[in-house]
Amino acid sequence: MNLYFVCRNDSFLVTLNYYTVQHLQEVHRGNQTSVESYAGTTLTLRGLQRVDMGAYLCIAANGIPPTKSRRYKVYVLFEPLVRVVSPLVLRAADSVASLQCYVEASPKSLNTWQRGRSHSGGKLLNGSKYTISEEILNEYSLHMNLTVSRLKKNDFGEYTCSAVNAYGRADGMVVLKDAISLRLVVLDDTRTFLEGQSADIDSEL
């Protein structure tokens, strides 16, 4: 999809500047070069992507105050994307575990945490056991965080982070394991086998 901005004032030399609320970014123009500002009456964004979301400012100026400007806000709509920051989290009993998922969505998604893999499972709520929060990164991305306090045996297992908006759903899974109970037993004896011979070796992991 392409997007065209047309900003014209016959009595001024027109300059188009692109910026977002967070920081100045580069404009991807039709010739695929990157610029921070562009002089002309028409600005073309080819292959519109989520990174192109933000505010675009058309400024008309000829060196004599005052300047004239018009602001346009661009939204790109897409289904949620979820990435798990750490798929496996190891913690000891009676400690605190922090789980985190990275989410991109537009429009903003409804984000939830739940135990296990099933979508029908009850969602987790803020309370003495769970603390749920979100860290906004930009207009379409955030970190969703789950803190589990005073870990007990039944707290270990799978946790699912979910993001849903009008365009779809995405899930990610984090496995919380008891670090103390994990044991690695190294097989210490040496065995010799003939090529093609089959054998069973039992080892405890």
Q: What is the DSSP letter of 133?
A: E
- Asked whether the predicted pLDDT for residue 155 surpasses 90, the reply is yes
* C-alpha closest to that of 5 among 67, 70, 90: 70
Q: Which segments of the chain belong to CATH 2.60.40.10?
A: 3-74, 79-178
CA distance 86 to 100: 7
More confident residue, 101 or 205: 101
CATH 2.60.40.10 for domain 79-178 = yes
At residue 21, the pLDDT reads: 32
- Given a contact cutoff of 8 angstroms between Cβ atoms, the answer to whether 95 and 179 are in contact is no
CATH architecture of 3-74: Sandwich (2.60)
Q: What are phi and psi of 182, to 5 degrees?
A: -75, 125
Q: What are the tens digits of pLDDT across the range 17-61?
A: 443 333 334 444 444 444 456 666 777 777 778 888 877 777 777
Q: What are the tens digits of pLDDT across the range 1-10?
A: 777 777 766 6
Question: What pTM did the predictor assign?
Answer: 0.70
* C-alpha closest to that of 124 among 116, 107, 92: 116
Q: What are the tens digits of pLDDT across the range 95-118?
A: 999 999 999 999 999 999 999 886
